[in-house]
């Protein structure tokens, strides 16, 4: 598992993920992870992320980890789990759908 945007970037143009017939390189995923990390607060906190099975969701997860936050990934369609996680763990307000980072 890669937890560092710079580690991801070191693999450059090598294939990283394939989604709907499109190949995303490590460099592309690293750039998405970096963009996701920039959107997060500086103070480390627990962040719940409602995710889909997309490169953007994976990049958001990795960017959140790289920024030093703890993550609760919740698959889209499981709103009851997201509500339970929010109630029980009170994650920071930055957790939101990964779709904000899709291209």
What domains can be seen in the chain, in order of their start residue? 5-101 (3.40.50.980)
pTM: 0.79
Distances from the Cα of 4 to the Cα of 64, 69, 92, angstroms: 10, 12, 21
Say how far apart CA 31 and CA 43 lie, in whole Å: 22
Residue 93: its pLDDT value, please? 59
If you average pLDDT over every residue of the chain, what do you get? 83
Q: Please, which residues bridge with residue 46 across strands?
A: 70
CA dihedral in degrees (71, 83, 52, 36; nearest 10)? -40
Tens-place pLDDT, residues 30-46 = 999 999 999 998 889 99
């Amino acid at each position: 598992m890669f937890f560092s945007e710079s580690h991801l970037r070191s693999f450059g143009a090598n294939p990283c993920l394939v989604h709907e017939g499109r190949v995303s390189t490590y460099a592309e995923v690293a750039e998405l992870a970096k963009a996701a990390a920039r959107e997060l607060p500086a103070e480390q906190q627990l962040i719940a992320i409602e995710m889909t099975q997309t490169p953007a969701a994976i990049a958001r997860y990795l960017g959140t980890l790289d920024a030093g936050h703890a993550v609760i990934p919740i698959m889209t369609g499981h709103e009851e789990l997201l509500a339970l996680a929010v109630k029980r763990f009170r994650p920071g307000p930055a957790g939101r759908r990964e779709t904000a980072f899709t291209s």
